Amino acid sequence: MKRVVVLGSTGSIGTQTLDVIAQHPDELRVVGLAANRNADLLRQQAERFSVRHLALYEEVPGSGIPFGMNALVHLSTMDEADIVVISVAGVIGLMPTLAAIEAGKDVALASKEVLVSAGEVVMPLVRKHGVTLTPIDSEHSALFQCLQGYRTDQVESLIITASGGPFRSRIKSELADVSVEEALNHPTWRMGGKITIDSATLMNKGLEAIEARWLFNIDIDRIQVVVHPQSVVHSMVKFKDGSVLGQLGWPNMRLPIAYALLYPDRIPNLLPPWNPTDTPTLTFEPVDESTFECIEIARQSARIGGTMPCAMNAANEIAANAFLKGELKFLQIPEVIKLTILEHRPTVPTLDNVLATDEQARQFARKMISRLQAS
C-alpha cells in the first residue's frame, strides 16, 4: 500500500490521479489533498477518499482549511505520506517538491516548471536522498519506460513527439490574428488554458526538452522533437547501435499517472488497450521551427543555463496568460519571451535565486506586454 499526497487535486491531472487511485484501492490510498483555492471541490474529494489532511495555496475565508506555501510543504513532508504527486501550476510546485525529497518521499511529477526552473537544484537532491522521481507527463513517462535497464552512455538521442497542436499545418503569416478559441481547440488532449496555449505555440515541447535534459542527464542538443499527429507513440529513445525504442498507447493521462504511482509494478486497469490494427497508419513530420520558434527559444535558454530557463519559463507563463486574456496577439508570445531573455543576467540556480528570477522575469514580461499594447 502506497500512501499518496496529491498537490493540485482539483485540476485536470489531480482529478485523473484520484480516478486512478480509486481503481487501485489495494495498492494506493490518499492521505493528503491540496488545491489552489477550490475549497468546495477539495472538501468533496476529501469526503470521497476519507482524507483528513487538506491545504489550499490561496486563503479561502470561512473554509477553515490551512493555506499558503507552508501548508503545502507540510502535506509534502507528512510522516503518513510515501509518495507526493506534484500537479500544481507554475513554479509553486518547487518548494513542496524539494521539501518532499529532503523528507525522503518519492515524487510523481506533473509540473514541468519544477525541473525547467530548477532541475540543477532538484536532481542532485533526488540522488542525494535516494528517492524516486517518476514523471507523469506522457512524453517523459514514455522515455522513462524505454530507458529502464539502459545506461545513459548507451543513448544517442531522445525523441519527443508532439501532436502539432491546433495550428500544425499553418505557416507564420497565418497565425497573426488567430483567436483564443482557435488556440484552445487542441486536436487530441483536453487540458487547462495555459498548457493548451503552450501546445499551440509548441513551447510545451521546449519545456519538455529541458525537463528531459534533467530527468535523463542528456544534453539539450541530443533531444529532438518530431510531430506525430496520431499521439499514439508518446516518445522514443534512439540508442547508439541504431535501435529505437518507443512507448505506444492511447492518449489518456491515466496511463502515465498509474505508471508513476505504481512504479515499478504494472497492474491491470480499466483503460482500453491500444491495438496496432486500430491505427494502421502512424505518421511523423519535422517541426516547422521558423513558424513555431518557442522550441528553439527554450533550447537556447537551456544552453545558457543557470537561471535563464527559469526566466524563460516565467516570461512564457505571463505571455501565455496575457494572450488568454486578450492582452497579446498570438505571435507576440515568443516576442515577450525573447525580450525577457535578453534582459536577464543568469546566476547560479539556488532556491533563492530561482524564486527571485521567477519574480523579476514576471515583472519584466508584464512591462513588455504593456509596452506592446501601447505601441
Q: Using 50, 70 and 90 to split pLDDT, how confident is the model at 195?
A: confident
Q: Could you give the 3-state DSSP secondary structure of residue 327?
A: coil
| Residue 191: per-residue pLDDT | 66
For 330, list phi and psi in degrees, rounded to 5. Answer: -55, -45
Q: Are residues 166 and 247 in the same domain?
A: yes
Is residue 123 located within the same domain as residue 144?
no
Same domain (yes/no): 118, 146: no
Angle at 294 between CA 289 and CA 298, to 5 degrees: 115
Entry pTM: 0.94
Q: How many domains would you assign to the chain?
A: 3
Domain stop point among 107, 131, 155:
131
Quick one: 23 and 90 in the same domain?
yes
* pLDDT given for residue 375 in this prediction: 79
Using pLDDT thresholds of 50, 70 and 90, give the confidence band for residue 148.
very high
Mean pLDDT computed over every residue of the chain: 95
Residue 4 β-bridge partners: 30, 83
pLDDT tens by residue, 63-106: 999 999 999 999 999 999 999 999 998 889 999 999 999 999 99
For residues 343 and 337, give the distance between their C-alpha atoms in angstroms, rounded to a whole number: 10
Could you identify the residue written with the cell 483503460? 271
DSSP string, 106-126: EEEE--HHHHHHHHHHHHHHH
pLDDT digits (tens, 9 = 90+) for 161-181: 999 989 998 999 999 999 999
If asked whether residues 279 and 149 sit together in one domain, one would say yes
Q: What is the CATH number of the domain that holds 87?
A: 3.40.50.720
**Residue 151 and residue 122 share a domain:** no
Q: Which tens digits make up the pLDDT trace of 318-327? A: 999 999 999 9
260: pLDDT strictly greater than 70 = yes
Phi, psi dihedrals of residue 348, rounded to the nearest 5°: -65, 130
Q: Residue 190: its pLDDT value, please?
A: 65
Q: Contact 24/267 with Cβ under 8 angstroms?
A: yes
Cα gap 141→152, rounded to integer Å: 16
Domain coverage including residue 364:
305-375
